[in-house]
Amino acid sequence: MRLALFSVALLASHASAADPVIKSAKSGAWSAPATWEGGAVPAAGARVLVREGHTITYDAKSDAVIRAINISGELAFATDRDTVLNVGLIKIQAGDEYSEDGFDCEAHGIKPDPNKPRPALIVGTANAPVPAGKTALIRLHYVDGMNKETCPAIVCCGGRMGLHGAPLGRAWVKLGAPAKVGDSAITLAEPASGWKKGDRIIVTGTQTHGNAKTESTTEERVIAAIEGTALTLDAPLKMAHAGAGEYRAEVANLSRNVIVESANKDGIRGHTMYHKHSAGSLSYAEFRHLGKKDILGKYALHFHLVRDTMRGSSVVGCSIWDSHNRWLTVHGTDYLVARDNVGYKSIGHGFFLEDGTEVYNVFDRNLAVGAEHGKRLPKQVLPFDANEGAGFWWTCSLNTFTRNVATECDRYGFRYEATPTSALKLMFSIRQPDGSRKDMDPRTLPFVRFEDNEVHSSNGLYGVNLGEGVNRVGPDSKHPFVVRNLKVWDIHYAFRPQVPNLIVENLHIERAAYGVYHPNYDGHYYKNVYIGHTNTEPFNRGHDDLSVQYGTLVVDGLTFDGVRSGGMPLVQISDDNPTGAAVTHVRGLKTTNWTDGSKQRAVANLGGGPRPAPKSEKGVPIFFHDWFGEGKHAMVVSVKSGEFKAAPDSFQQVRDLTGDQSRAKEVKDVPFPAAPQLVDDLPPQTVVTSVTQKDGKLVVRGTAADNGTVKRVLVNGAEAKALAPNFSEWEATVPAARELKAHAEDAAGNVELAPHVVKVP
């Protein structure tokens, strides 16, 4: 066997770029000699061109390494058998020109002729995927003489690339019961249809933070047996994994039956990419051992500067693992839908929006595990990105992030970063709701939606770092950042909100060293905050050691549970008030299981060690509403503040409220600030993800995203039915037509100005 593999490699290495190109003679099976000019099936080292108008069915399971395949017709994998293709480069591009460039396209940016069929690589379709029990494998090899920086690769240049494996009910689920050290079986929280014996899974760690060890607590196993929600593993677990209540590990399936991999994971790896005007989607495919380490643009899966030309494309249910350069890179691309994917082990950021112009993309229910610190990449678009290992990283926030989980990532779970430099003024061309473009500062753009996300279990620094480096620039008060239902646990710094104008609803922090950390309190409104077993600084002062607050902080509902404060206050008082407008209001404060050893407990105090004298005459008072009873509020100030120095006798120590450097007094007639009045003038965004024919009609499915409530989705005037809350998934059945036009309307009366128009073949 070793001799045979050596012979194949030798043949491939002896192939020359000057060898003649083997061209298809007609449509037919790859393995049929009559399909090819010259009557010979391409062998190891062959340079192949599938010509325009020809459809070749790849029906082989071969160890021979084809040097390169250029597809100007169609190469479709047989789905009734196992197939294996070993190849150096696949390039999907119109024309009879043969190319071995594994990055650029010869006709990059030219719109395909609508009167001609697109060149295509088809490995299953969304409606007829490669069925369970059959496997399609593309193995990417480096072949001597090719460019090591761009090859091996799969590159789609204005063609269609679709990879579709057997669907899974879920790509990942939560653990359904605690798993103990030595357990050989685990229970899932919900059924996982499509999972089977022999699949590779991971069980994520749940007790990383604070441990002396530095290794990940995620464990890889193989399913030995499965029945309902019960999985038997091939080997016992070496660590415990939480699986009850609010805090549970994830169990993710990495195996798919459509696979793209690097042949030599320890050598020259491959990458995949779509260019502008390409088409196609990916579902339930596996991308493993890809990504070129420290090389710009050579990622495991890359949508490269496609803007809205691939509106309708989606990445669903895929696993992308052991990548040396990110998992999914969305670069200069709008309207992509990424849902229910698993990213596991990457160098650099995992789910990555590259250049700060990307808008209206949807990241829904993706799992990011183990994004590791990498290097800054040469000639990268944004110089401030240190590539420190974030599960999700972006500069332009006008996108949707819902139901995602990040765990065991090196530096950040979620990282919004937009730092101006002397060479970069942060003024980018951004798509507008009507489809036009306008130069804008991305820092001024809020989320479309950021909801139901979770971060846990990391020895790195941050759960969610929202805007460190933005220099207090953000959206206006009528269009703030809105973060809902965020859960962060087993982490060092849980939530770093450095943006101005922020609404946070239902924030849950558990087992963090620092809770709300290094904040820029300026137009911040929090509702229902829980901070449990977070002992160092649960609610940090403005900008941490700078101790400065520029505007309002309002907290309506704040619970501290199980805090061992050790002399530190639950809420730190900021020293400086440079604008004169800084003030904090807290209502509905609750403390449970609060201990402090021999030291005095204090809800509000300076804390944080010695501080210099305040620079501003006016301090930052904290009003605890109804502290002394209904309508009787406590005003707490620092003993260094101007308010205290002007009338020290009017303030006093209050048990459990003040500490050694704070005092309080009872005040009345201080209204609790109303919630911000938002203006919703952003129309929804709609993407048609599939069109199928049934009984003479068209069944259209898609997704919609909005910062508010979607009222309805219309397809050629017919109302779609919601398949998921807020029309995040929808379906419509309409009469047969050559063109479909889909748009959404929201409850605020906004109508989508740039509908998704789809030509029906």
645-680 pLDDT, tens digit each: 999 999 999 999 999 999 999 999 999 999 999 999
Round to whole Å and give the CA distance between 620 and 577: 6
In one-letter notation, the amino acid at residue 755 is P
Share of the chain above pLDDT 70, in %: 96
pLDDT computed for residue 567 by the predictor: 84
558-612 pLDDT, tens digit each: 999 999 988 899 999 999 999 999 999 999 999 999 988 767 899 999 988 778 8
Residues 6+ apart with CB under 8 A from 129: 79, 164, 165, 166, 167, 258, 283, 284
Is the separation of the CB atoms in 373 and 422 below 8 Å? no
Round to whole Å and give the CA distance between 269 and 140: 8
Q: Name the pairing type of β-strands 136-140 and 160-164.
A: unpaired
62-88 pLDDT, tens digit each: 999 999 999 999 999 999 999 999 999
pLDDT computed for residue 460 by the predictor: 75
pLDDT computed for residue 157 by the predictor: 96
pLDDT computed for residue 421 by the predictor: 86
Tokens 């009557």, located at residue: 39
Q: Which CATH number fits domain 685-759: 3.30.460.10, 4.10.640.10, 2.60.40.10, 1.20.140.10?
A: 2.60.40.10
Q: What residue spans define the domains of the chain?
A: 2-166, 188-253, 685-759
Share of the chain above pLDDT 90, in %: 90
Q: Per DSSP, what are the bridge partners of residue 22?
A: 48
pLDDT computed for residue 573 by the predictor: 97
* Confidence grade of residue 115 (pLDDT, cut at 50, 70, 90): confident
Q: Name the pairing type of β-strands 47-50 and 28-29.
A: unpaired
* Confidence grade of residue 505 (pLDDT, cut at 50, 70, 90): very high
277-318 pLDDT, tens digit each: 999 999 999 999 999 999 999 999 999 999 999 999 999 999
Q: What is the pTM of this model?
A: 0.96
Round to whole Å and give the CA distance between 537 and 544: 10
- Higher-confidence residue of 217 and 107: namely 217
Q: Is the pLDDT of residue 216 over 60?
A: no
* Two structure tokens written together for 647: 């009338």
Q: Is the pLDDT of residue 718 over 50?
A: yes
Round to whole Å and give the CA distance between 123 and 389: 32
Helix (H) or strand (E) holding 101: none
